[in-house]
Amino acid sequence: MKKALTALAAGVPLVAAAVWLPTASADETRNTATATTAACAAPSVKAPAGTKVESVTAVRQAGGTIQGTGLLGGEVSGVPAFCQVTVSLTHPGEGDHAKVQTWLPEQEWNGRFQAIGGSAFSAGDNGVGLGAAVKNGYAVTTTDAGVGDVLDTSWVLDGKGKVNSTALKNFASRSQHEAAAVGKTVVNGVYGKRAAYSYFTGCSTGGRQGYMEAQAYPDDYDGILADAPAINWDEYEVATLWPQVVLNNEKTYPTECELNAFTDAAVKACDKLDGVRDGLVNDSSRCDFDPRRLIGTKVVCKGDELTITAADAAVVRKIWDGPRTTSGKKLWAGVPIGADLNGLAHSQPDETDGGVVKGVPFQVPAAWVQLFLKKDPSFDLTKITYSDFTKLFQQSQAEYDKVIGTDDPDLSDFRRSGGKLITWQGDTDQFIPAQGTVRYHQQVERELGGAKRVDDFYRVFLAPNTSHCGLNGQDGSADGLAALTAWVEHGKAPRTLPATLVNTNGETVARDLCAYPAVSHYKGHGDPALASSFRCVSPRH
């Protein structure tokens, strides 16, 4: 996964881990395994409301090693034989074509149905998540929503230079709901019985899709694992471009080494907030490190000695603080202190312009502003002033909040349906600030009448020193699906989420992630590498 990200000069935003996805432990899934054997023949599929079924095919696949398609690639080995059913849907009169794939284990189906979300501008999985789910006994579904790979935006503008509303609606919400209906029908048709439980899993774009399901289609799933969710899409997408706007307006471009120096100094200064110096900042929102403390510091970068300037510190301070209007009104959260600043504040010499250093914007928000807001692929992002930025932010809210904002705090129908929702997110997510997720959780509490009424169906866990979708096996791991199935099927609400983290020294440590708003705090004795040496406390402990 990280290789896929670093292969691009500016990184790939909003990407769920394509190499490893949560599928619950083998012990957890096998205990409901059935003797059902899939007869791999195309089942009869009733078209979801508003759609027409164009085709249904079924192909037996031998399994083995599955290679992930598209930019993310990846692979999963040891996949057992499965039946691959592909259903093509269209909305009559709209000219779209969406494919829903369902993979069904030939033997030892665990009785459960799982759907997997997408990454960036991709609506579904590239095959690796599907294979991992089959390996763990799940019948699993994903949809392409009729759009393309993670950075494919060829579908956005039509021939008249307007946003393709049909494709956007499919990507934002409609196709996921239809995939749930189709996938369940396919499971029933192939196995001759319905799944006992239905789950949705996804990170980033997939996380947003999970929240969309809970908000708009509360009866689709018994449990939803929606990690590092790209909710508030219309707002944070523009906010993600803020670091580049700062670089260009201040005409100051700190190097990668200098940006890392600010991050390292902040983590060092705030490390002991959890009661012990362990290479982890357990609540980055409480870190108040002032970047001006580094002014005059020498940094050696690729053999050159650089001196951090007041201008460098001012840039970092604005990026950490986050987007504001010219009058100082806060628009959105900034890059969390402790997160990799190079994800959004990346710059490099432009060899086509005499080696002048220029900012390199992150592709997904760049495409959002150029295509969805300006409707102009050639729009020059470097010309955006602070005043322009506010107008773009407000335009995005006005045009797209109801379409893809995914921020409706009324989860009462999902609660009444008996659904359970778990989210984990890196506290140092460099692409989607965790404070957006926290703010949404707080809004749900206000909407539903307090923390107690929310805690019985929806819990958020923040992971220290963890990047975007990082617990998907990049710089840590946690089995959120195992926790979710235990909650849905056995009523065992997760007080904590056991996780493996990697601290700033590169050491692997065990932690029990605390359910928000609690944070982990050192007991005062014991090995800091062990979860047992910490307890969950109020964040102001």
Active site residues: 204, 429, 468
Secondary structure of 85-127 in HEC code, one letter for each residue: EEEEEECCCCCCCEEEEEEEECCCCCCEEEEECCECCECCCCC
C-alpha distances in Å from residue 39, one per residue of 30, 84, 332, 412: 21, 11, 52, 40
Q: Which of 470, 455, 474 is nearest to 514 (CA)?
A: 455
DSSP symbol at 202:
E
Question: Using N-to-C axis directions, what is the helix angle for 242-250 and 310-321, rounded to 10°?
Answer: 150
Strand partners, 330: 324
296: which 2 tokens? 């005059």
Give the DSSP letter string of 148-174. -STT--TTSB-TTSSB-HHHHHIIIII
CA neighbor of 108 nearest in space, from 33, 39, 38, 40 = 33
Judge contact between 456 and 494, C-beta under 8 A.
no
Sequence-ordered list of residues with C-beta below 8 angstroms from that of 111, at least 6 positions apart, any chain = 32, 33, 34, 195, 196, 197
The upper half-sphere exposure of residue 185, i.e. CA atoms within 13 Å in the direction of its Cβ, equals 19
Residues 468-487 as b or e (16 or more Cβ within 10 Å = b) = bbbbbbbbbbbbbbbbbbbb
